[in-house]
Structure 1
Amino acid sequence: MLVSAASMMIADPAPAEGSRHGGIQTFARTPANPGFPEGIAVHGNRVYVSGPATFGTAGKGPSKIFVYGTNSEDLKSTITVAGEALGAEHALSCVAVDGPGRVYALSTQLGLLRFTRAGNKYVQESYGAPLPDLPTCAAAAPGAACSPTPIDLPPIPNDIVFDEDGYAYVTDSFQATIFRYAPGGGAPEIWFQSEALAGGGPQPFGANGIRLDPTREHVYVSVTFSLADPSVGAVYRIPLVDAPEEADLELVHEYAGGQAPDGFAFGKSGKLYVTLAGANAISVLDEDGGEVSRIESSPCDEIPLDAPANVAFNDAKDTLLIVNHALLSGNADNFAVLKVRVGDEADPLEKPWLP
């Protein structure tokens, strides 16, 4: 892995003694069709939850976004994605929202979609082209765009975040790349690549979650299964500049033992709440990258944490919302959004006003 050694911050993967929390409640169960929810975004009085984020979807129904209320926690409406070739693999990973409240979703087939609310319905349009399928750099022609991975894998768009200028940053879990869409969408461009973002193991998910830090000076990205050792995952950060270099990559925190960091969110406190799909827990990091606490299920919880994928703050209810992906168990009873009080609020995401 190529890491800036001068500023590396490796924290002890073990949480502080006596810091585990219970009291996880159910916010909403998500329908088994299509199941495997992953993305979540909160805007105004609405919570958007997207899926399915899984393989084996060929021949099954369309991808969907479920719209819940932040206060009543009821299912207000369902957005069904149009235009997917249902006979082939199709999935919807993560979502984001802009200033006017339009919803953006990453489709493995269709690229970056945008949904505009019209009453209780949403109008779908194409915002950004699908991610390109890059050859490995070993096989690419000199000077051609390529992927710094040892084997040729297709693109897998995973998570998305906006900056204040309206650029959308998207992680590609199979191509060790962070792409960027310009304000207004169109074709994605390569923003950052590194072999450190490549995945390894049977399901080689590398670059996964992505967010801006509260100072808007860095882009944070998680790697779920590292190429060098798939039992190790990590959170990195990259300077938020137009053209960062590979040497700019900094390690914030490393997770050993197959804990599999996935999505994350910054709190107003500066703490980082990281989902651990392999450990069925939420790891809470301080501003220096040290783990200060861990949120885990207790026997009293109605639905246990099951491969949590993403988190978002519901400030209206003073809770952290957790998407139960249940990817490894496949247990439809655990497809849900959970909630827990953490004594923190959201570091507000950028929601630019886009063309």
Structure 2
Amino acid sequence: MTTRVRSLLVAAVALLLAAGGPAAAAPAEPATPTTTVFSLVPAPGFPAYVHVHTNGRVYAGTYTDSGSSAPSKVFEWSSDGTLLRSWTLPAQRLDADHGVQVANQTRSGRLVLLETSTASVRTLDVRTGRFRTVARFPDGAIPNYATWGPHGDLYVTDYGDGVVWRLPAGSRKPERWFESPALEGAIEFGTTGIRYRPGRGDLVIAQQNASDGSTLPTNGHLYSLPVKANGKPGELATLWTSQPGDLPDGFGLGRSGHLYVALAGLANQLVELTGTGEEVQRIGTALTGDNGSDIPFDTPCSATFLGTEVLVANQSAIAGDASHQAILAVDVGERGRAPYLPKSAHF
């Protein structure tokens, strides 16, 4: 989720109230998972996607709006939540909304970063602390989440435009790989999480709301988009439609095939879906975000597996409550599938 979300969430509240409020969630039959605090996130706060590295450590970046000149940081934790190191991001436009998403990693272990103020793909070598700029997107693009796909291509969602970018293997020039009105969000809410499912050969893509007329503009979606053998996109299909104002964001994939989606909007919940998009349960109390831990869900914006726990980045985008800006751990009782990382995942 980008820094723009704070003002947009206020607009979403107004839209939802006008529509009569959120629909009631179906009662959940599974036992309520236990939620604990993995770690607080130091200043400048506003954590984004949590990446669990193949080295066993955990990484997350931070976002800062144009009212702050504090540069973004990348933090590193051990698997038990101990803060180990941090790196300050260089060459940001500090007079604009600026943030860094630790979106993925290369096969060799470098972090893949998406920086918003310069609309760039960068890498960070955690052994040397060296940053490298790999590619830049056109003006106006807001790179948000990224996944490796077949043939070593990197697919990137754009929060500011209805497009999925592809950075072909060996290229430094992103291409507009897929465009659809379904990815053009209403009141500027955009496209968020993306994961490649090699068993199904598709990309799962989260959209916070849609302006294509398929549903109410306050409803979000999870889509399935096949990647054909020739590298071209197939036909976009809806896996799941959210309740009004949910704002689905980042998500994790369990070994069962279930999807665990962070709802960054009014719901303040984590929702579990089957691989075909049927809702299983909602974790946390709607609106309040109460989850049984010391910190409620407060703009949860991503979900990543570490063992049987789903790590959730708590951004507190509206309130800006530093005591809520944390990574929470939700024990869902199954292990996750690591993000797809082919041998060709490098730049």
Deviation at 1:264, TM superposition (A): 0.7
Q: Are 2:347 and 1:339 aligned?
A: no
Is 1:243 paired with 2:206? Answer: no
Q: Deviations over 1:68-94 (max 9, x none)?
A: 011x32111102111112233322234
What is the deviation of 1:176? 0.3
Q: Which residue of 69, 73, 76 maps to 2:81?
A: 73
Q: Which residue of 2 aligns with 1:199?
A: 185
Report the 3-state secondary structure (helix = DSSP H, G, I; strand = E; otherwise coil) of the residue aligned with 2:173: coil
Alpha-carbon deviations, 1:176-234, whole Å to 9, x = none? 00001122451100111100001112xx1221110112515100101102224331101
- Residue aligning to 1:322: 312
Give distance in 2, aligned partners of 1:298 and 1:182.
Answer: 42
Indicate the percent of aligned positions where both proteins have the same amino acid.
31
Describe the SS at the equivalent of 2:59. strand
Q: Which runs of 5+ in 2 are unaligned?
A: 1-22
182-191 or 261-270: which moved more?
A: 182-191
Q: Distance in 2 between matches of 1:329 and 1:164?
A: 40
Supply the AA of the counterpart residue of 1:290: E
Find 1:122's aligned residue among 122, 126, 129: 129
Counterpart of 1:256 in structure 2 is 243
Match of 1:213 among 197, 217, 232: 197
Going from structure 1 to structure 2, the CA distance change for 1:299 and 1:249 (only over 3 Å counts) comes to closer
> Cα 1:298–1:83, aligned 2, differ >3 Å: closer, same or farther?
closer
2:66 maps to amino acid: T
- Which residue of structure 1 aligns with residue 148 of structure 2? 162
Q: Which residue of 1 aligns with 2:44?
A: 34
Q: Secondary structure at the match of 2:129?
A: strand
- Name 1:140's counterpart in structure 2: none
CA distance in 2, matches of 1:322, 1:17: 20
1:277 aligns with 2:264: yes
CA contact (8 A) 2:59 2:102 kept: no
Alignment partners' CA distance in 2, 1:40 and 1:348:
13
CA shift, 1:287, in A, is 2.1
2:219 to 232, 239, 244: 232
What is the CA–CA distance in structure 1 between the aligned matches of 2:302 and 2:261, rounded to whole Å?
8
Aligned partner of 1:3 in structure 2 is none
Following the alignment from structure 1 to structure 2, what is the Cα–Cα distance between the partners of residues 13 and 196? 25
Alpha-carbon spacing, 1:39–1:184, altered in 2? closer, same or farther (3 Å): farther
RMSD: 2.0
Alignment gaps of 5+ in structure 1: 1-11, 134-153
Q: What is the CA distance between 1:99 and its match in structure 2?
A: 1.6
8 Å CA contact 1:176, 1:206 repeated in 2: yes
What is the CA-CA distance between 1:58 and the residue it aligns to? Answer: 4.7
In structure 2, relative to structure 1, the CA distance for the partners of 1:191 and 1:294 (3 Å cut) is same
- CA deviations 1:278-325 (Å, max 9, x no partner) are 21111111122100112115464100011110111112xx31111111
Within 1, Cα distance between the matches of 2:279 and 2:148? 26
Distance 1:313 1:235, change over 3 A: same
In 2, the alpha carbon distance for the partners of 1:88 and 1:187 equals 24
Q: How does 1:92-107 map to 2 (within 5 A)?
A: 92-107=100-115
Match of 1:150 in 2: none
2:25 is the alignment partner of 1:25: no
- Structure 2 CA distance, aligned partners of 1:94 and 1:257? 29
- Runs of 4+ aligned structure 1 residues displaced above 3 Å come to 12-20, 297-300
C-alpha deviation, 1:351, in angstroms? 2.2
Q: From the superposition, tell whether residues 14 and 298 of structure 1 become closer, same or farther in structure 2 (CA, over 3 Å).
A: closer
- 1:263/1:254 CA distance change after superposition, 3 Å: same
Separation (CA, whole Å) in 1 of partners of 2:276 and 2:283? 19
CA distance in 1, matches of 2:161, 2:201: 24
The amino acid across from 1:48 in the alignment is Y
Residue in structure 1 matched with residue 116 of structure 2 by the alignment: 108
SS of corresponding position for 1:88: coil
Q: Residue 14 of structure 1 contacts residue 291 of structure 1 at CA under 8 Å; is this kept in 2?
A: no
Return the offset for 1:257. 1.8
Name the CA shift for 1:94/1:115 in 2 (closer, same or farther; >3 Å): closer
Structure 1 residues 13 and 189, CA, compared in 2 at 3 Å: closer, same or farther?
Answer: farther
Question: 2: CA distance between counterparts of 1:187 and 1:299?
Answer: 43
Indicate if the aligned counterparts of 2:253 and 2:305 stay in contact, CA closer than 8 A.
no
Instruction: Say if 1:295 and 1:17 are closer, same or farther in 2 by CA, change over 3 A.
Output: closer
Q: What CA distance in whole angstroms lies between the structure 1 residues aligned with 2:240 and 2:86?
A: 37
